[in-house]
Amino acid sequence: MKKFIMALDQGTTSCRSILFDHSGQIVSVAQQEFPQIYPQPGWVEHDPMEIWNTQLFVALESIRKAGAVASEIAAIGITNQRETTVVWDKETGLPVANAIVWQCRRTAERIDALKDQDDHLADYIHQTTGLIPDAYFSASKIEWILDYADGAREKAEAGKLLFGTIDTWLIWNLTKGRVHATDRSNASRTMLYDIEKDRWDPKLLEVFRIPESMLPDVKPSGARYGVTDAGLFEEEIPICSAVGDQQSALFGHCCFTAGDVKNTYGTGCFMLMHTGEKKTLSEKGLLTTIAATTDDTILYALEGSVFAAGAAIQWLQNGLRLFDDAKVTEEMAFSVKDTDGVYVVPAFTGLGAPHWDPYARGTVVGITRGCTREHLVRATLESIAYQTKDILDVMLQESGAMLEGLLVDGGVTKNRFLMQFQADIMGVPVISPDNAEATAQGAAYLAGLTVGFWKDHKELKSLQGDRLRYDPQMDPATKMKLLHDWDRALERAKGWIEQ
Ligand code: ADP
């Protein structure tokens, strides 16, 4: 009797494994952090073996905690930190270098040089991959490993090395080297995948000097990838989904059709809008990416991110030492009637979409003698809502969609002050599921659909539990005034660093 779906959630700082039952409820969770490696300023690496060992450990742990046995697990679903790049030896299974993490900036100069060499490259990359050329994506990270890991380029040319994002690395290890595959949502973040022609792009492989023999097969997010090697669990378990974390959260919120939007509020915010079969290319710096499916239809999403959301709360806590626990920010914000005219623009590393100003820096304006800790906390929380609204406005404008409600998840959504303010400032309801596990849920849903554990999208929607709903309440005049002053505050933050 198959009772569970196991979701492996491989994140940037920890590996988690969650068992879901037929009613979509969480039965057990196991989680373990693993080390971040910072060889130089701006560089971030992970040890791929450590990721694999930690992920296997938590998988076994989640089965043990549920009092389950492997034969009760219908399928495994995988969701992962995107773009992070692993290159390994096909024969030995050993990585030729540490994984280069999505945050790592080591190839930023290489990207600049490529853009300088070819004026059309940025446009070609945008048209083909839906992305904006950046060191963030896998392409230049693979090139770096081939150039700098000992003997890697010769081996790669001889067909002896494999590339994968973390989903691919886990599938390869779970199947003991029998399956080398990824899904379209992850492929669409490598900056090597043509998201319309649905194939690796020959010209970009040439630009980044990557042999095609290294690349994984590309499948739908929900598909039969293979079965786990006999030695790992008491019984073989089919692996039935792989999906990048943000596309997984979109699916986990049951955003299946054009116009559905979710925003994940963590250290930063990631907003994705489903655009259905329409590949919408943004003029204002949003990314176009492939959404999860269980068949070969290609569906798209628009994506925008706020660089500093939870990071701004962490700054108040650890930098300014205004409190010891982020939880208290809710009460502090509610304790004052407004920010007393104070605006915080947390542009610590510049401003992202739709402002795109790398020279902007964090700014606090409007301070008078009456400004207190509480005002500063409230203004920081409000800044998260303003930044989210700025992205959402562009998405709605460029997609032509109408929004009925914003689905939210992530640690920061525990803050009821912020969620209410978000609804007020956008003028649409904010809807928060009572379990904030949208990311793991997406991978579980996709795997469950693939093996018939759940029947269809309608059944998945019926599994969604209670939701907290925040309806807009602010009067239009107040909202207009706040937004007007936010725009003025943004202007003061822009261009601070002299070029
Ligand atoms: P990530 O996945 O990026 O690590 P999480 O989804 O775990 O992020 O959220 C963690 C962030 O949420 C931290 O930045 C923390 O400061 C913030 N946070 C947690 N609880 C609250 C709260 N009640 N109010 C505001 N921020 C919060």
The protein residue with its alpha carbon nearest to ligand 1, atom 24, reads 415
Amino acid at site 457: H
Report whether 227 contacts 71 (CB < 8 A).
no
The residues facing 344 across adjacent strands are 364
Ligand 1: distance of its center to the CA of 190 in Å? 27
Determine which of 277-281, 298-302, 463-467 has the lowest per-residue pLDDT on average: 463-467
- Quick one: which atom of ligand 1 is closest to the CA of 436? 6
pLDDT tens for 390-426 read 999 999 999 988 898 999 999 899 999 999 999 999 9
**Residues of 78-107 as b/e, b for ≥16 C-beta within 10 angstroms?**
bbbbbbbbbbbeeeeeebbbbbbbbebebb
d(CA 95, CA 221) in angstroms, rounded, equals 25
Structure tokens at 285: 């710096």
Ligand 1: distance of its center to the CA of 169 in Å? 28
Ligand 1: distance of its center to the CA of 358 in Å? 24
Structure tokens at 196: 């319309």
For the cut 80, the answer to whether the pLDDT of residue 313 exceeds it is yes
- Quick one: which atom of ligand 1 is closest to the CA of 410? 6
The protein residue with its alpha carbon nearest to ligand 1, atom 15, reads 310
Structure tokens at 211: 């042999």
Please give the helix or strand (H or E) that residue 248 lies within, else none: helix 245-252
Report whether 63 contacts 18 (CB < 8 A).
no
The whole-angstrom distance between residue 209's C-alpha and the CA centroid of its chain comes to: 27
- Quick one: which atom of ligand 1 is closest to the CA of 327? 23
164 SS3 class? strand
Q: Which of 31, 267, 329 to mutate to test the pocket of ligand 1 (most atoms within 8 A of CB)?
A: 267
pLDDT tens for 329-370 read 999 999 999 999 999 999 988 888 888 888 899 999 999 999
- Quick one: which atom of ligand 1 is closest to the CA of 317? 16
Residue whose tokens read 């596990």:
437
Ligand 1: distance of its center to the CA of 391 in Å? 20
Rounded to the nearest 10 degrees, how much is the dihedral formed by the CA atoms of 449, 451, 453, 459? 20
Tell me the pTM: 0.93
Using a 6 Å CB cutoff, which residues line ligand 1?
Answer: 266-267, 310, 313-314, 326-327, 329-330, 410-412, 414-415
Q: What is the mean pLDDT of the chain?
A: 95
Ligand 1: distance of its center to the CA of 346 in Å? 15
CA distance to 221, 254, 309, 383, per residue, from 464 (Å): 21, 8, 26, 30
Q: Which of 412, 414, 468 to mutate to test the pocket of ligand 1 (most atoms within 8 A of CB)?
A: 412
Q: Give the pLDDT band of residue 20 (cuts 50, 70, 90).
A: very high
